[in-house]
């Protein structure tokens, strides 16, 4: 990409998209195009076609998606598979129809089998059953990967797919009904601290292990790979180390300054027992993460206080 290349970031206000926009702007890319979901509904093919015909972007970061934690995936499986299939199908095909030079598709490590060998290699895709709690979302993302690969094979496009591990950072979703585990715990511990609540409940046993990557690291990797990598092989993006949910909860409690007790509700689902990605392909391409979890948690909590808690107080 050149500094004046026209770049479309789909989903520019979300956790991933906003981080990519920050990285692009900080790196001197000045010709960025965006649309809010109210201005452009990516599930509507006619709107997507009209946008691409009008703007003619050269590069596309496809970060728009319907995402959520265990509760949201369990409650709205039809929306998770339907909306994601429509968004990515419309954008990927419109990119091909309008001669986009390169597209980067953001997937998720939930594409891998529930019992995949750890750390999860890219070639473990489609070798076993998926985790039931987010299967509809995972199937949609797998379809997006295969769509990019198929267009490359048949039409000679340059569409690449990256699989980020669990992400967190600015513009995360802190809604307790739909968020992922890390932002949900930040909010739970913060509110327990404010209300002097003696206990905080965490879903599951606390034993599953997860890997967490700060969104600015993911954005750095995405821009790096957009500029340096072409191929049909998907690429995992992660830290290369994981942590148990129990340890995560304790770290977040310490970050927030919560002094009470953490209890685990074992009647709630754990999800996959472990999700650590093999990053040897990524490091072989010359990139590695830089933001340690402890530092990232402090920055994420600071953003929460400045944006979420501040707005909450203003509306009360």
What would the DSSP string read from start to end of the chain?
Answer: --TT--EEEETTTSHHHHHHHHHHHHTT---EE---TTT--TT-HHHHHHHHHHH--SEEEE-------HHHHHH-HHHHHHHHHHHHHHHHHHHHHTT-SEEEEE--GGGS-TT--SSBPGGGTTSSPPPGGGHHHHHHHHHHHHHHHHHHHHH---EEEEEE-EEESTT----TTT--HHHHHHHHHHHHHHHT-SEEEEES-S--EE-EEEHHHHHHHHHHHHHH--SSS-EEES-S--EEHHHHHHHHHHHHT--SEEEEETTS---SSEE-B--HHHHHTT------HHHHHHHHHHHIIIIIIHHHHHH-
Annotated ligand binding at 251? The verdict is: no
Q: Which residue is it, tokens 């946008």?
A: 51
Annotated ligand binding at 106? The verdict is: yes
Please tell me which residue in 8, 29, 137, 258 is annotated as part of the active site. Answer: 137
Annotated ligand binding at 89? The verdict is: no
State how beta strands 7-10 and 159-164 pair.
Answer: unpaired
Annotated ligand binding at 185? The verdict is: no
C-alpha 63/C-alpha 18 separation (Å) is 9
Annotated ligand binding at 85? The verdict is: no
Annotated ligand binding at 307? The verdict is: no
Would residue 301 show up in a list of annotated catalytic residues for this protein?
no
C-alpha 12/C-alpha 52 separation (Å) is 16
Annotated ligand binding at 14? The verdict is: yes
Annotated ligand binding at 303? The verdict is: no
Annotated ligand binding at 287? The verdict is: no
Annotated ligand binding at 43? The verdict is: no
Annotated ligand binding at 165? The verdict is: yes
CB-CB neighbours of 177 under 10 Å? 11
Annotated ligand binding at 172? The verdict is: no
Annotated ligand binding at 218? The verdict is: no
C-alpha 121/C-alpha 212 separation (Å) is 17
Annotated ligand binding at 108? The verdict is: yes
Annotated ligand binding at 180? The verdict is: yes
Binding residues: 11-17, 106-109, 141, 164-167, 180, 188, 203, 210, 270
Binding residues for NADP(+): 11-17, 106-109, 141, 164-167, 180
Binding residues for substrate: 188, 203, 210, 270
Catalytic residue set: 137
């Amino acid at each position: 990409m050149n500094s004046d290349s026209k770049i479309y970031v789909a989903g520019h206000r979300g956790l991933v998209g906003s981080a990519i926009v920050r990285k692009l702007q900080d790196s001197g890319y000045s010709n960025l195009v965006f649309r809010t979901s109210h201005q452009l509904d990516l599930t509507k093919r006619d709107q997507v076609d009209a946008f691409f015909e009008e703007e003619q972007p050269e590069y596309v970061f496809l970060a728009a998606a319907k995402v959520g934690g265990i509760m949201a995936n369990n409650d709205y499986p039809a929306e998770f598979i339907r909306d994601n299939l429509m968004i990515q199908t419309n954008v990927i095909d419109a990119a091909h129809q309008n001669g986009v030079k390169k597209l980067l598709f953001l997937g998720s490590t939930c594409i891998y089998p529930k019992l995949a060998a750890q750390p999860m290699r890219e070639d473990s895709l489609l070798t076993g059953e998926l985790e039931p709690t987010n299967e509809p979302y995972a199937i949609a993302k797998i379809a997006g990967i295969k769509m990019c690969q198929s267009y490359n094979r048949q039409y000679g496009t340059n569409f690449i797919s990256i699989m980020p591990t669990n992400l967190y950072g600015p513009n995360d979703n802190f809604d307790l009904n739909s968020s992922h585990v890390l932002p949900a715990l930040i909010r739970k511990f913060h509110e327990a601290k404010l209300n002097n609540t003696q206990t905080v409940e965490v879903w599951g046993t606390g034993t599953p292990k997860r890997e967490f990557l700060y969104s600015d690291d993911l954005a750095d990797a995405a821009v790096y790979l957009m500029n340096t990598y072409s191929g049909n092989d998907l690429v995992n993006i992660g830290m290369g180390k994981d942590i148990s949910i129990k340890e995560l909860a304790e770290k977040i409690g310490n970050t927030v300054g919560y002094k009470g007790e953490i209890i685990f509700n074992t009647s709630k689902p754990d999800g996959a027992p472990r999700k650590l990605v093999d990053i040897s392909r990524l490091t072989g391409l010359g990139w590695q993460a830089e933001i340690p979890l402890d530092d990232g948690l402090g920055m994420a909590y600071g953003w929460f206080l400045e944006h979420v808690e501040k707005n909450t107080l203003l509306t009360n």
